[in-house]
Amino acid sequence: MERNTRQRDAILDVISGAGRPLSTQEILAAGKAAVSSLSIATVYRTLRDLVAEGHILPVKLPGEADRYEMARLDDHYHFKCSTCSKVFDIHDNIKKNNLHVPRNFVIDKYDLILYGQCSDCVPKH
């Protein structure tokens, strides 16, 4: 970055304060609390720059647009609530030697995505 703008600060604040990956629309909505004129174009541009600078990472789920969260979080995977569509970080990992692949296959990394109900959406009894 070359200049420090209110828009950029607002976007980074929103992501670092969220504690879970946010969609571009969530970032736009939350960012408008700080800069009411904030445009979706600026959100996309700033996210691209923040990713390039290594501050944030895209979180990819099948069939869905990227969400974003702070980089350098602990090893973790993601949980998507099927009811409210929020995605949560699960700070845990699976041991790679528990994963069995065919002979001569090499594992670089893995993505584990859990689907279900978060505590706000699970039916009470």
Partner DNA sequence: TTGTTAGTGATAACAATATATCAATAGCAA
Partner DNA sequence: TTGCTATTGATATATTGTTATCACTAACAA
The DSSP secondary-structure symbol of 11 reads: H
Question: Does position 84 bind a second copy by CB under 8 A?
Answer: no
Q: With CB under 7 A as the rule, give the number of residues binding DNA.
A: 23
In terms of CB distance, is 40 or 122 closer to DNA?
40
In terms of CB distance, is 64 or 111 closer to DNA?
64
Q: Which two tokens stand for residue 81?
A: 């609530």
Helix (H, G, I), strand (E, B) or coil at 31: helix
The single residue among 4, 36, 97, 98 that binds a second copy, judged by CB under 8 A, is 98
Q: Which stretch binds DNA (CB under 7 A): 35-43, 69-77, 92-100, 104-112?
A: 35-43
Q: Which two tokens stand for residue 55?
A: 């501050």
Report the alpha-carbon distance of residue 79 to residue 83 in Å, rounded: 12
DSSP β-ladder status, 56-59 and 22-23: unpaired
In terms of CB distance, is 10 or 81 closer to DNA?
10
Question: Does position 74 bind a second copy by CB under 8 A?
Answer: no
The single residue among 61, 66, 70, 86 that binds DNA, judged by CB under 7 A, is 66
Closest CA to 63 of 40, 41, 80, 84: 80
Torsions phi, psi for 56 (to 5 deg): -130, 165
Binding mask 99-118 for a second copy (x = CB under 8 A): xxxxxxxxxxxxxxxxxxxx
User: Binding site for Zn(2+): what residues are annotated?
Assistant: 81, 84, 118, 121
